[in-house]
Structure 1
Amino acid sequence: MRCTGMAVAFLLYVIAEVAAVWAVGSAVGVLATIGLLIAGALVGSWLARREGGKAMRAFVTTAQSGRSPEKELTDGMLVAVGGVLIMIPGFVSDVLGLLFLLPPTRAVARRLWLKRAEKRAIRHANQRRSPAMVVDSEVVPEQPHQQTQQHPVIEGRIVEG
């Protein structure tokens, strides 16, 4: 079922891309459409290189400071996806790629991506583990008559469910 959904999404993307190229070609002509596609690829590749360099420098700086580079790593990944989309001929892919390359829209995409990844990680962890186990316990200090024991006694109950 999931494979069918991906096939439908890809088909819709191809139809949207052809319709966009057709509409632009009808409005400005064939040569101008080709020129716009080439200009989009050139400007997009320049922007991807610039933003990718910024993301890499931010990643290195954050990692060297000892903080978690989660944001910077995600930004780098989104810039890479944006660069690939820009290089695919077509106006729809150029617009999507541009959204991943520009910092304000990339920040929105990053928040959505991280939220989705967190939900998937939790769902995956819940599917892989056994039923939850809660341990309610307390440490009971050693009694004078228990001199042979070296560790405190732990009493408690285990609740599974």
Structure 2
Amino acid sequence: MTTGATPPLAPKRSRARTFLPLGIAVWLVLEIWLLTVVANATGALTVLALLVGGAVLGATVMKRAGRRAFQNLTTTFQQAQAAAQTGEVPSAAGKTGAEDRNGFLMLGGLLLMIPGLVSDAAGLLLLIPQVRSFLGRYAEKAVERRMTAAPPGSLQDAFQQARMRRPDGKVVQGEVVREDANQGPRRPDEPRPPLMP
């Protein structure tokens, strides 16, 4: 006996989930092919030297970027503590574009450590400060676009609504805490409160 209700449609598969496995397979085949071409042209020792040199350079870059990120973190904490003691609002005016791009510098180091010539070329490109700043601006704009175009009820919309604005116009992440809400544990038969009113 059928009820006449149609089964829910499966969500549409995103392009990234469709083409990412294919892209990884093509990348692996290209890396192996390039390594064999270079090995046939110059010898196996040259390929080994290229791979070891890329791994050493990548480890050095990642170590340097990690130190810089840790130094920026400790400086930020020290500024926040000093601002809390004086009652001032900490400012982010001291940051330059090069300091904000440690993530891309670490990604460049990781790409250099991965064996292969295509990944080494991409890692070397990420060592150029202009490329890192361009990619950083592009990533920021892409995130802003996705956050502003979030459909109502999505996770992105929830993050957007969780932002609070200070009087000076700066956006501060936060959450709303209701003092009048029941503080005790919820009973199993009690319905969950809505996330959004």
- TM-score by shorter chain over 0.5: yes
For the residues of structure 2 that align with 1:76 and 1:61, how far apart are their CA atoms?
Answer: 15
Q: Closer, same or farther in 2 for the Cα pair 1:58/1:34, shift >3 Å?
A: same
Secondary structure, in 3 states, of the residue corresponding to 1:124? coil
Q: Which residue of 2 aligns with 1:28?
A: 42
Q: Which residue of 1 aligns with 2:113?
A: 87
Q: Confirm whether residue 67 of structure 1 aligns to residue 91 of structure 2.
A: yes
For the residues of structure 2 that align with 1:124 and 1:92, how far apart are their CA atoms?
Answer: 35
Q: Which residue of 2 aligns with 1:45?
A: 59
- How far does residue 73 in structure 1 lie from its aligned partner after superposition? 7.7
Q: Which residue of 2 aligns with 1:108?
A: 134
Could you state the TM-score of these two structures normalised by the residue count of structure 2?
Answer: 0.54
Larger radius of gyration: 1
Q: Closer, same or farther in 2 for the Cα pair 1:58/1:72, shift >3 Å?
A: farther
Select 1:4's aligned residue among 18, 36, 43. Answer: 18
Q: Which residue of 1 aligns with 2:181?
A: none
Select 1:124's aligned residue among 146, 150, 153. Answer: 150
Structure with greater proportional strand content:
1
Structure with greater proportional helix content:
1
Could you state the TM-score of these two structures normalised by the residue count of structure 1?
Answer: 0.65
For the residues of structure 2 that align with 1:112 and 1:59, how far apart are their CA atoms?
Answer: 24
Give me the CA root mean square deviation: 2.8
- How far does residue 115 in structure 1 lie from its aligned partner after superposition? 1.5
Q: Is the 8 A contact 1:56 1:76 kept in 2?
A: no
- How far does residue 127 in structure 1 lie from its aligned partner after superposition? 6.2
Q: Closer, same or farther in 2 for the Cα pair 1:105/1:60, shift >3 Å?
A: farther
Q: Is the 8 A contact 1:52 1:79 kept in 2?
A: no
Corresponding pairs, count: 129
